[in-house]
Amino acid sequence: MSHSLAANAESVEIETLAAIAEREIAPHALEIDQARRFPADSIDALRREGFLAMAIEKQYGGMGGGFGGDYLMVSRAVEEIAKWCTSTSQIFAVQTATCSQIAAMGSHEQKERLLGAVVKHGDLWGSWASELGPSIMGAQTVARKVAGGYLVNGDKFFSTNSAGASRFLLWCAEEGGDLIHNMLILAVDAKAPGVEIVDDWDGMGQRGTASGTTRFRDVFVPQSDLIGGHANAFYEAPAALGPIFQIGFAAIYLGTAEGAFEEAKKYATSRRSLMRAVNRIAEDPIVQLHIGDMESRLAAARLLVYDAAVRLKAVESDPSRRVDAALAVYKAKVFATEVALSITHDVFGICGTSATLAGNKFEMFWRNVRTLTLHDPVDRRREAIGKSVLGIADPPIAAL
């Protein structure tokens, strides 16, 4: 990594965010997990300092991250929050990815109006595509064309941010079509008549993300809130758009693994060993070996995520690099997944039985990673990488 890249990653914005996360997000993480509570106070802290507008271009009043700006800053921010609260980090990652999507696909008027509301009022966004059923991207939610806009009917699940979102991007099929050939992306007001938020998320992990059901019954969405202006506009969007969602998850996995690792270091250096011929757990050579291995794998994962962010930025000026950037993101996600799953599991072996007690965060870190890494089957990313290596086909760069 170049010196300038590292300096960028340690920008004033990230240092400020790190202080806020440690002071105002970290103390609530365990209680949020135990109570399955949406982290409203944590989001308010980010809103107060303007961080919900991180992935909005400076010309629209944002911090200049995400599409059209600094991808690395956003990845570092997602990672930093995940060290303390994975639920808050996922909420923030959805916010930044959605703002980037509007920046990439929206009209100038939509950017001024929709992104402007984030800057001025701290609007929180969701991006709701998934549905329960045989296909996670099914076409059960349908928009029918009517005078002045669309009427939407259907149910969505995995509606992250639903308990706190002001608006959300709704992925649905135009009546008579499907999400492959007739996909619409609509900006929907969370308080629009016919929208019902059902706070029924009961996942094993990521308990604070409010990722349950949202129902739509004859919800009217004006034509002016059709993002991209027509069906299938997503597939015509800049090539970096799909991987922006992917790198957000890689950054969450990385940050969560780092959080678990830091907790394990504190535990090992402060606890007396009763089963080993040493005073502290940290003095056991076997523990030292495992800590060294974890540190090495985290360093490698960090480099892959940061490198992918830089490559994504390069696509904006040189679209021919889109496959290279997508593959970099996929590799980062594959490795970050493996590292996060292994570290959040292996810390129990280092710390011992006491680490399983309810007052510790180790269980929370593991459940969060195990849950979130199932969001998008990582084998699909391995498949795309393998196809590219074997010269079979380009990876599906627009796929989520």
pLDDT tens column, 308-328: 999 999 988 888 888 899 999
| pLDDT band at 9; cut points 50, 70, 90 | very low
189 burial level (CB within 10 Å; 0-12, 13-18, 19+): middle
Check residue 399 and give its pLDDT.
Answer: 42
260-276 exposure pattern, b = at least 16 Cβ within 10 A, e = fewer: bbebbbebbeebebeee
pLDDT confidence of residue 3: 39
Query: What's the half-sphere exposure (Cβ side, CA atoms, 13 Å) at 325?
Result: 26
> What is the C-alpha separation between 191 and 208, in angstroms, rounded?
21
Q: Specify the amino acid at residue 231.
A: A
Backbone angles phi, psi at 299, to 5 degrees: -60, -40
Grade residue 252 by pLDDT with cuts at 50, 70 and 90: very high
Q: What is the distance between the alpha carbons of residues 327 and 302, in angstroms, rounded to a whole number?
A: 16
Give yes or no for residue 398 having a pLDDT over 70.
no
pLDDT at 49 over 60: yes
Under the banding of pLDDT at 50, 70 and 90, the label for residue 271 is confident
Higher per-residue confidence, 153 vs 274 = 153
pLDDT attached to residue 132: 81
Highest mean pLDDT, choosing among 26-40, 240-254, 342-356: 26-40
pLDDT over threshold 70, residue 90 = yes
| pLDDT at residue 400, as a whole number | 36
Question: How high is the pLDDT of residue 242?
Answer: 79
Q: Which two tokens stand for residue 370?
A: 């195990």
Query: Which pair of structure tokens corresponds to residue 149?
Result: 């806009």
Is pLDDT at 156 greater than 50 in this prediction?
yes
Banded pLDDT at 168 (limits 50, 70, 90): very high
The per-residue pLDDT for 1 is 44
Report whether pLDDT(112) > 90: yes
Please give the distance of CA 116 from its chain centroid, rounded to a whole number. 22
Residue 151's pLDDT band, with cuts at 50, 70 and 90, is very high
Question: What DSSP element (H or E) covers 170?
Answer: strand 167-174
pLDDT score for 139: 66
User: Comparing 231 with 354, which gets the higher pLDDT?
Assistant: 354
